[in-house]
Amino acid sequence: MRLRHLAMTLSSLPPHPQTDVELEQYATEGDFAARWIAEIVQLGDLEPQTRVVDLGAGNGILGIGCFIAGANSVLLVEKDERCHHTFEGVEWLIGDVSEWKGNDVDLVIMNPPWGVQTNKADRPFLDAAFCSDAGVVYLLHSANAKHIEGIAKSYDWEGEIILSGNFRIPALYDHHNASSGGTDVSIWRFVRSPK
């Protein structure tokens, strides 16, 4: 599928409710998600046999994008049951990230809470990903985050930033003072450290 068509398909998914500031819910836009998934395909990490888990999935845009791009199976893990919708071929686990067992996965993709509202809110997601059976982990996080690489190394993972950009943030919550804004983000690719 072409990048433009993938972006259009992802943009047409049911919208993320984005109503819980404590969960730091911000939707990933279709264009941004499509560009990220195209990079995953280009790097050879998404093939027909790949089993994908999307942690903190929101409306499932990243996992569904991986499914459309050719993943064998996709599990969307999301705490907010209002995000749940049906997309043929994709499974949901509605619950806390700690409820996911970490097995039957080749690739983890996630845009978790960054810990802006609740300190270390990203930690359960990072721990789950780095303790899983996955061979590769993709993470969207603030470009200002300094702790990610250290956490990965503590689990014997190595990371590199593969994409950077501006993540649009609409004014949804009381602490926002402009109609919309953005923040610089980095997309990380982690693989297990060679033994």
Residue 163 DSSP symbol:
E
Report the pLDDT averaged over residues 50-54. Answer: 98
Q: Which of 10-14, 45-49, 139-143 has the lowest mean pLDDT?
A: 10-14
Is pLDDT above 60 for 8? yes
Q: Which one-letter amino acid corresponds to residue 35?
A: R
The DSSP result for 91-152, as a single string, is: EEEES-GGG----S-SEEEE----SSSSTTTTHHHHHHHHHSS-SEEEEEEETT--SHHHHH
pLDDT for res 2: 87
Residue 49 DSSP symbol:
T
Distances in whole angstroms, Cα of residue 165 to Cα of each of 22, 90, 186: 24, 28, 7
Q: 180-192 and 157-170 as β-strands: parallel, antiparallel, unpaired?
A: antiparallel
CATH number of the domain residue 58 falls in: 3.40.50.150
* R_g (Cα) of the chain, nearest Å: 15
**% of the chain with per-residue pLDDT over 70:** 86
The torsion region of residue 96 among left (phi > 0), alpha (psi -120 to 50) and beta comes to: beta
> What tens digit of pLDDT does each residue of 141-172 get?
989 999 999 999 999 999 999 999 887 765 55
Domain that holds residue 27: 3-192
pLDDT for res 173: 45
Residue 12 DSSP symbol:
T
pLDDT band, very low/low/confident/very high, at 176 (cuts 50, 70, 90):
very low
Please state the separation of Cα 107 from the chain's center in Å: 11
Domain count, the chain: 1
pTM for the whole structure: 0.89
> What tens digit of pLDDT does each residue of 77-117 get?
999 888 888 899 999 999 999 999 999 999 999 999 877 66
